Amino acid sequence: MRGDGPSRFGFWKGVMGAALAVFAAVAVLRYTRGLGAVTNLSDQYPWGLWIGFDVLCGVGLAAGGFAITATVHLFHLRRFEPIVRPAVLTAFLGYLLVIVGLMFDLGRPDRIWHALVMWNPRSVMFEVAWCVMLYTMVLALEFSPVVFERFNIRAPLRILRGVTVPLVIVGVLLSTLHQSSLGSLYLIVPHKLHPLWYTPMLPVLFFVSAIAAGLAMVNVESRLSARAFGRHLELDLLADLGRVLLVVLGAYGILRFQDLARRGAFAHLALGRIEGQMFVLEIVVGLLAPMAILAVSRLRRSGGGLYLASLLVVFGFIMHRLNVSLTGLEAAAGVRYFPSWMEVAVSFGIVAAGFGLFALAVKYLPVFSAPLGPTPDRPAGARRPLSILRPRVT
Amino acid sequence: MVKAMLVDYTRCIGCYQCVLACKAKNALQPMEPAEEPSVRSFTGVKKRKGVFVSRLCMHCQDPTCASVCPVGAFRKTAAGPVVYDKEKCIGCRYCILACPFDVPNYEWGVAAPKVTKCNLCADLVAAGKVPACVEACPTGARMFGDREALLAEARARIRSNGKTYVDHVYGADEAGGTSVLLLSSVPFGTLGFREDLGGKPLPQLTWAALSQIPNVVTMGGALLFGVWWITNRRTIVAAEREKEEAGRRAAGAPPPDEDE
């Protein structure tokens, strides 16, 4: 395994083990003593870190799945095919972990299935629940060829290859719906959400930012995978994604600024207050800075520049969602919320588990290999060498 | 015929009989006065700015809680009360976030929690009786009856006692109108009530987004299929050209290089 030797990997394993141990202890407390024993939530502030970060950010960060599958299978840009599998894996794991987060946050997680049979189509949350459930199934199906190849089960592979395009279309539609609906959740609180973030455009902003975050995550993942597993993508592929990312960020910036100006929201930008400071952090560090980096083609074509820009985009994305769900609601709630260490431990444990599962999947499944086609010269389950990760002509 | 409750703050003497009657009816402990609604009391009376302000669920005409609950645990009954079905509730707490009057409380301290709020004694109302708090009120500060009749009564009181009352019946239009109507001698804003709720029910805000879904699915689906179809043709054409090339080469030319 590439890296700085066993001691470095042992450290991360240790961190992960500790995180999971604390996570398990907190889980026991949470289920036996209730949410109040473990969180800093209250009637004035019913949603905290687990919704703001685990659900809102987790769903968004896994958006790379729908962005890349659409790019390859609908836009037929086959040179991005090598990243489809890692992106789908990340998305699938991301959504599984969102569900774990929900199992912690819901007051009655044993009733999570209720939305299947008790319907309220007027509720945005009902729509989110259904879209997330269906999309997780789509992701499972999109990832299943990797598992079937590993165990050399051929029949399902043929069927799945046949339904790839409809599956991707359904996946993009479901993603569009629930990425935007996470924003729509907050349409119902115009009197509680701070004017710097409340807008009827929330669904559109959440959707566009999800695309940006998804593209940035593909980049970040590629870099992390390079360090950990020695697998990475060609730089000019990533630079191409960087250009698309710049365009998406530009569109988001225009939408956001136009909306703020039209509603006179800048009048509420008080830099002495936490809302103003968080807004500046979100926009300057999370939007303007990465745009500036990506706009310089020398930086965009460098691995380091792209990586930094992508990290900043992910930061900005997380900041926006935390600002909408946490910062923006504090003033109206009349309480200052900060997650308890146990809330942080659970979220950290979930993220750690995500990294761990990703590493396991890459180790035992052909995640970084090309899909096996019906070629007689290549035996089943064989891994193509690293060369597959260079662009190939279809 | 929708029923409502009229609470006239100028008539409230802060005796807390309403609170105790509510607790007795709903088997809540401890049996003592409460200033705010909580999991232990579905109504509360607190002195603010010299006025005894009692608060409870407003039983909106188009309740936000009923519209946001993913499993439909809240329901506006025909008679007026908005009731909660604890068997359906999954504990997502969206109702607590969304309620413009900050009504629902949550049992944070138990392993199997539920939401709590006043249900306007829906069972008593259905049997033609009045809520327990109204029954217990000695001064008639709380009254129960037909919503239109109570609205007329409230407006009549304002008209004939111009100096006593603020010229506003809180709940007549707020968030689309509520089944709990309030009269006060002090502006409602200073008593802690939101005055910017507007006359439209809040569920309309999310319905504006949700109603777009069929369009997104049909147009989006058609668009994505179109993109695939157009770009697919290019791929097919390119593949056919390659096959021709390969055929020509095989017919008498050196074998092609490994594609890379």
Give which of B74, B87, B94, B194 to mutate to test A binding, by max A Cβ within 10 Å: B94
Q: Which among A34, A76, A111 is the nearest to B111, CB-wise?
A: A34
Q: How far apart are CA A57 and CA A216, in angstroms?
A: 13
Strand bridging mode B105-106 / B115-116: antiparallel
Nearest CA in chain B to A29: B111
With a CB-CB cutoff of 8 Å, which residues 165-224 of chain A face chain B? Answer: 165, 169, 172-173, 176-177, 180-181, 184-185, 187-192, 200, 203
| Contacts of residue A16, Cβ cutoff 8 Å, sequence gap at least 6 | A352, A353, A355, A356
Which residues of chain B are within 8 Å of residue A107 when distances are taken between CB atoms? 89-93, 106-107, 113-114
Kindly provide the b/e burial profile for residues A319-340, where b requires at least 16 CB atoms within 10 angstroms of the residue's own CB. Answer: bbbbbbbbbbbbebbeeebebb
Q: What Cα–Cα distance (Å) separates residue B66 from each residue in A41, A127, B51, B59, B93?
A: 22, 15, 31, 10, 12
Does A115 reach chain B within 8 Å, measured CB to CB?
A: yes
**pLDDT band with cut points at 50, 70 and 90 for residue A109:** very high
Cβ of B220 within 8 Å of Cβ of A176? The answer is yes
SS (H, E, C) A284-319: HHHHHHHHHHHHCHHHHCCHHHHHHHHHHHHHHHHH
Amino acid at residue number A351 = V
CB pairs < 8 Å spanning A and B: 169
**pLDDT band with cut points at 50, 70 and 90 for residue B260:** very low
The pLDDT of residue B66: 97
Cβ of A35 within 8 Å of Cβ of B108? The answer is yes
Kindly provide the b/e burial profile for residues A224-237, where b requires at least 16 CB atoms within 10 angstroms of the residue's own CB. Answer: ebeebbebbbeeeb
Q: How far apart are CA B180 and CA B193, in angstroms?
A: 13
Q: Which two tokens stand for residue B108?
A: 């944070």
- Per DSSP, A380 falls in state T
The pLDDT of residue A122: 95
Q: Is a pLDDT exceeding 90 seen at residue B3?
A: yes
Q: Which two tokens stand for residue A274?
A: 């936490």
Coil vs helix vs strand at B101 = coil
User: Please, what is the angle between helix A341-364 and helix A202-229, to 10°?
Assistant: 60
For A132-158, the DSSP string reads: HHHHHHHHHHHHHHHHHHHTT-HHHHH
pLDDT tens for each residue of A327-383 = 999 999 999 999 999 999 999 999 989 988 988 998 899 887 766 654 333 344 444
Q: Which among A107, A126, A390 is the nearest to B91, CB-wise?
A: A107
Q: Which of A122-136, A247-261, B240-254 has the lowest mean pLDDT?
A: B240-254
Q: How far apart are CA A106 and CA A110, in angstroms?
A: 9
Instruction: Give strand pairing partners of B116.
Output: B105
**pLDDT band with cut points at 50, 70 and 90 for residue A386:** very low
Q: Which among A78, A119, A190 is the nearest to B72, CB-wise?
A: A119
The pLDDT of residue B37: 96
pLDDT tens for each residue of B50-94 = 999 999 999 999 999 999 999 999 999 999 999 999 999 999 999
Q: How far apart are CA B180 and CA B60, in angstroms?
A: 8
How many Cβ atoms from other residues are within 10 Å of residue B246's Cβ? 13
Nearest CA distance, A248 vs chain B (angstrom): 18
Asked if residues A340 and A314 have their Cβ atoms less than 8 Å apart, the reply is no
Q: Is a pLDDT exceeding 60 seen at residue A73?
A: yes
Cβ of A191 within 8 Å of Cβ of B210? The answer is no
Q: Which among A114, A190, A392 is the nearest to B88, CB-wise?
A: A114
The pLDDT of residue A394: 36
Nearest CA in chain A to B113: A107
Region for B105 from its dihedrals, namely left if φ exceeds 0, alpha if ψ lies in -120 to 50, beta otherwise: beta
Q: How far apart are CA A252 and CA A256, in angstroms?
A: 6
Does A378 reach chain B within 8 Å, measured CB to CB?
A: no
Q: How far apart are CA B108 and CA A39, in angstroms?
A: 9
Asked if residues B65 and B104 have their Cβ atoms less than 8 Å apart, the reply is yes
Between vectors from CA A95 to CA A91 and to CA A97, what angle results, nearest 5°? Answer: 115
Total length of chain B: 260
Q: How far apart are CA A206 and CA A318, in angstroms?
A: 11
Total H helices, total E strands in chain B: 8, 9
Structural domains of chain A ordered from first start: 17-366 (1.20.1630.10)
Q: Is a pLDDT exceeding 80 seen at residue A61?
A: no
Q: How far apart are CA A292 and CA A288, in angstroms?
A: 6
**pLDDT band with cut points at 50, 70 and 90 for residue B167:** very high
